[in-house]
Amino acid sequence: MEGVGREHDSSVALPVEDFVAAKDTTILSTKPTRRYPLASWVAILALATLVGVYIFSLSLKQNGMLFGLRQTNMIEKEREQPCHHPGVPETETPYVHFPTPNTYSRKECACTPVRFFAILSMQRSGSGWFETLLNSHENISSNGEIFSVKDRRSNVTAITQTLDKLYNLDWVSSAAKNECTAAVGLKWMLNQGLMKHHQEIAEYFNRRGVSLIFLLRRNLLQRHVSILANDYDRNTKQLNGTHKAHVHHRGQADVLAQYKPTIDTKSLIAELKRSDKLAADGLVGFKKIRSIVLYYEDVVSNHTLTDVLDFLKLPNMKLSSRHVKIHTKRLRDHIDNWTDVSNTLNGTQYQSFLNG
């Protein structure tokens, strides 16, 4: 205990032995620290590199996710020309656009207003025929089922980038019109990523001022027959070894109409309910977007599509299509096991479909 007191009292002289011991301790403490082997430093450097690469990859991923939004903002805020159309009511202003394509100049039509639209439908609901009617109008460009290609609908970013290109008038297709196009859009099936990302897509439609044209079919049994017949031809290729979803000649239509599917009555009601629900979900999911609802059965009796042209604020004109209807007889004449189908649907909510 006396030694400890001496270490804390600087006024007391140390004996020679203690002085030598303290000096030896000081000498020991000044020895260089132990060095790490070269392999340890290489391992640390490699670990730091891996961490840096990981952080950089996360940054790239985040930038990719934001790219679609940046491109949309560029089109909306930087690229659209300061054009004004005095004849457009204030309530219609969000739906009037003046895009500036990357691939060509609109020249004297640079300030011609363009309406954006999308036809939302389901397979075998007459949408192909309907779209050809629209494209016969000199001011409309409807560019088909763009999202039938899976890569274009793989995620929200891919979808918005595709839509930005379309609505910027840079999409190349046989339906593309000249620089004076007044309405541009596409045909989009509800099962082509549309309902999977319906919230984000609805926000996009609202932000970009896109108007929606719903084309549905009242008689879902007729649609089911058309689906089965189309699937059969896809496998058998009845027209000279070629599958045709749509035809332009009566003779071709008659060949395809000869096939009468046998319907699985055990799953029929479930299939009709699924189709009914998909259409209902589409209407609800996009109810806040400016839209018009059409039914195939009504369009068949009104080829002028006056309501649609008024909806798009375009001049009325006679529309035409080369498509020829395939199934023209009574529905009972296009189903092989009609009696079984009739017995299955009688007394259900789908009984009225039997009158098609």
- Domains plus CATH for the chain? 93-354 (3.40.50)
Residue 58 is predicted with a pLDDT of: 61
Q: Number of C-alpha atoms within 13 angstroms, CB side, residue 213?
A: 27
Flag whether pLDDT at 86 surpasses 80: no
Residue 9 is predicted with a pLDDT of: 43
Q: Who's near 340: CB < 8 A, 6+ residues apart?
A: 263, 265
pTM: 0.78
Note whether 327 and 257 are within 8 A (CB): yes
pLDDT band at 59 (very low <50, low <70, confident <90, very high): low
What value does the mean pLDDT take over residues 92-98? 93
Q: What is the pLDDT of the chain when averaged over all its residues?
A: 85
Taking only the tens place, the pLDDT of each residue in 10-33 is 444 444 444 344 444 444 444 455
Flag whether pLDDT at 169 surpasses 50: yes
Taking only the tens place, the pLDDT of each residue in 309-326 is 999 999 999 999 999 999
Torsion angle of C-alpha atoms 333, 337, 343, 347, degrees rounded to 10: -50
Taking alpha carbons only, the member of 290, 321, 293 closest to residue 307 is: 293
Note whether 249 and 324 are within 8 A (CB): yes
What value does the mean pLDDT take over residues 126-148? 96
Flag whether pLDDT at 174 surpasses 70: yes
